[in-house]
Amino acid sequence: MATKVVMEALSPTMEEGRLVKWLKNEGDQIKNGETLAEVETDKAIMELVARGEGVLRKRLLNENDAAPVGQLIAVIAPPDENIDALVSSAGSAAAAPAAPAAPAAASAGATQEKVASGAPPAPPTARPAAPPAPSAAPSGNGGGRMRSSPLARRMASENGLDLQGVQGSGPGGRIIKRDIEAAVASGSAKQQPTAGRFVPAGEDYRDAPLTQIRKTIARRLSESIGPIPTFYLTAEFDMERVAEMRAAMAAMGDEFKVSFNDIVLKAVATALAQHPEVNAHWLGDKIRYFNRVHLGMAVAIEDGLITPVIFDADQKRMSEISRESRELAKRARERKLKPEEYTGSTFSVSNLGMFGIDQFTAIINPPEVGILAVGALEEKPVVVDGALAHRKRMRVTMSCDHRVVDGALGARFLQTLRRLIENPLMLVY
């Protein structure tokens, strides 16, 4: 039985991929799950892994060449199996518009089909439904159904393991108890993003049907200003106490250093938890209010911009947010983010303070309904208790989708945010 290796949809929006580097040569013995090649998607450089076992018989794509999602790019098969028909079908399949594998690949990541040699390709098999996750389901999942014993599935779920990272040693690659035990012992398997202590009880979100007034507001304002009727709210916060807190923490040692941005992220996440009405998605026929706060943070990279996500940010300590944002930013610049790390945010923050920008407006990342643009921290003359004083100040501007967030609602959110930032001890309350 041969396994067709096709260009997989390695990001939710990927339509074609450029093969950066083959990591296996023709003739190499391939195990299920081994990395075959590095592929550049529209967002990152990702690993393409084998979905079957055998010998890498044929590579059909040169390094640096691109192939649309679904195109056959290699064949894995037993050494003695005749793969001529498969290989010669590659050209015609690739030329055909909208290869049948492509839509399936984009939706379910199901791409590598098992085919008996000479037989017509079977339709891709859907994998079992993934448990609900805050981010998009991890893509790059095998087309051949992943086999695992019921016990292995239960153990994986109890240990918060993603079975896709586990190598199966049973018949036909079945994942069995000893594989889970090995994965747990080595810590090699990927933790599910839902795992850990940040899972609140109950639903992740609540869908609210549109009321007539919301429908009218949405229609009228969209006519006026564009598909996302945005308005902007600007406020200037006093940052003296934040600066004091930060200095006091830094004085305790390097490991307690946090950036202004870390504190702002923590404050925004906390404020969002108190205002779920701005922590939402506009879905056209309904508004989805999230019960969990997944905060996107815009990161400038060499040739653009990406928004990695701090999941359950309101539940995380400042030290965790600090470490995670640093790590995400670093990997964003290296283009090493996985799709599930930059999808699923419920609200975003963009900070251009480090470029000396006093104030700016950020563009909403749909279907989110708000984004906060953070300016530079500056010392300014202000009136305090009737007298002129110099204080550290910072301007933020919130872009609001008026279909969901009305002016007063956005203003109340900024009020909460001001209270938190001007009294940062509230963040530990």
Q: Which residues are catalytic?
A: 402, 406
Q: Going residue by residue from 103 to 142, which x/- string records binding to other proteins, judged by CB under 8 A?
A: ----------------------------------------
- Asked if 226 interacts with other proteins (CB under 8 A), we say no
Q: Which of 36, 110, 152, 243 binds other proteins (CB under 8 A)?
A: 152
Cα atoms in the 13 Å half-sphere on the side-chain side of 291 = 11
Long-range contacts of 167-176 (CB under 8 A, 24+ apart): 167/31, 167/32, 167/33, 168/32, 172/147, 173/32, 173/53, 173/146, 173/147, 174/147, 174/148, 174/149, 175/146, 175/147, 175/148, 175/149, 176/148, 176/149, 176/151, 176/152
Task: Output the smallest distance, CB 157 to other proteins, in A.
Answer: 9
Under the binding rule (CB under 8 A), the answer on residue 31 touching other proteins is no
Among 117, 125, 149, 361, binds other proteins (CB under 8 A): 149
Separation CA 373–CA 124 (nearest Å): 44
Q: Which is nearer to other proteins, 151 or 426 (CB)?
A: 151
Q: Which stretch binds other proteins (CB under 8 A): 145-153, 182-190, 277-285, 336-344?
A: 145-153
Helix (H) or strand (E) run with residue 48 in it: strand 45-49
Looking at beta carbons only, is 150 or 227 nearer to other proteins?
Answer: 150
CB of 15 to other proteins, least distance (A): 40
The token duo for 133 is: 């996750």
Alpha carbon distance 232, 246 (integer Å): 29
Q: Is 412 in the site for other proteins (CB under 8 A)?
A: no
One residue of 31, 154, 219, 390 binding other proteins per CB under 8 A: 154
Q: Does 176 bind other proteins (CB under 8 A)?
A: yes
Closest CA to 344 of 60, 137, 110: 137
- Determine, following the binding rule CB under 8 A, whether residue 394 of this chain makes contact with other proteins: no
Shortest gap between Cβ of 164 and other proteins (angstroms)?
19
Residue 306 structure tokens:
């990406």
Position among 177, 219, 220, 336 found at the interface with other proteins (CB under 8 A): 177
Query: What is the spatial distance between Cα 74 and Cα 15, in angstroms, rounded to a whole number?
Result: 18
Could you list the residues that contact other proteins (CB under 8 A)? 149-154, 169-171, 176-178
